[in-house]
Amino acid sequence: MKSKFENFFQGIKDSSPLMIPVVPFGIIFGVLAIDLGLSPVTTIAMSIIIFGGASQIIFLQLFSGGASSLVIFSSVGAVNSRHLLYGTVLSEHLSNLSLTWKIIVSYFLVDQAFAVSNDYFKKNKNDNNKHFHLIAGGFNCWIIWQITTVIGIYLGSVIPEKLGLTFAIPLTFLALLVNEFRKTINVIVMIVSGLVATLGFNHIPYKAYVIVAALLGLLVAYILTEMTKKK
């Protein structure tokens, strides 16, 4: 069994390659927040409290568009609903933790941390300190997100628009999928989920296309997994 520090530093190491696209992503958020009239303190507080890149961007877009509080909170909740899936997947590995540790882990359960820790947990099932790997991945992202948010707040105005930093938003999520292309089942699930989300963008009410796409993706994954087991 590895020590807490060994798991922690391994989590930092494993998650670091996924932090590259987070840098411009965080800068974009800082720039947008200030452009929309938020104060630096409010912007930093949002990054600390919400700590979710995609949901923070959506919050700003809806807020600037004059959307109601109900629409804003429901939309942010829908985007963050993927974390319910993350929690379900990781529950079998972390069910023995105390409530305090579960709360800490849930705060640091970001996309990048889940991507690397899910595989790590499978390889280290009997390690009682393995949750420090996920905390480290989330903490790594947290530090970079706060720093880049501040950079966007104070230096965003001097960054040339020609750099096209907005590419970082989809790039961040694409980087998480690279390792998953190795399995046929994963590719099929991605295609199904992607098609449902794309086709349902303007047709599924309450902008719940993310939830519907995720649930259908899970259903397809379950069916394909069961078919594979029978073979």
Report pLDDT digits (tens) over 128-154: 889 999 999 999 999 999 999 999 888
For residue 47, CA distances in Å to 93, 112, 126 come to 28, 16, 34
Average pLDDT, the chain: 81
What pLDDT, on a 0 to 100 scale, did the predictor assign at position 223? 87
pLDDT tens-digit profile of 23-77?
888 888 888 888 778 889 999 998 998 888 778 877 877 777 676 677 677 777 7
- Check whether 202 has a pLDDT greater than 90: no
- Is the model more confident about 175 or about 102? 102
pLDDT tens-digit profile of 80-90?
777 877 888 88
What pLDDT, on a 0 to 100 scale, did the predictor assign at position 14? 92
- Check whether 177 has a pLDDT greater than 70: no
* Number of Cβ within a 10 Å radius of residue 122: 11
Instruction: With H, G, I as helix, E, B as strand and everything else as coil, classify residue 183.
Output: coil
Query: Alpha-carbon distance 169 to 53, whole Å?
Result: 8
- The region of weakest confidence among 26-35, 100-109, 189-198, 207-216 is 207-216
Q: What is the mean pLDDT of residues 222-230?
A: 79
First to last CA, the chain: 35
Q: What is the mean pLDDT of residues 189-207?
A: 81
- pLDDT level of residue 179 (50, 70, 90 thresholds): low
Q: For the whole model, what pTM was predicted?
A: 0.70
What pLDDT, on a 0 to 100 scale, did the predictor assign at position 76? 77
In contact, 22 and 43? CB cutoff 8 Å: no
- Is the model more confident about 222 or about 165? 222
Query: Alpha-carbon distance 31 to 43, whole Å?
Result: 10
What pLDDT, on a 0 to 100 scale, did the predictor assign at position 13? 93
What pLDDT, on a 0 to 100 scale, did the predictor assign at position 187? 85
- Check whether 159 has a pLDDT greater than 70: no
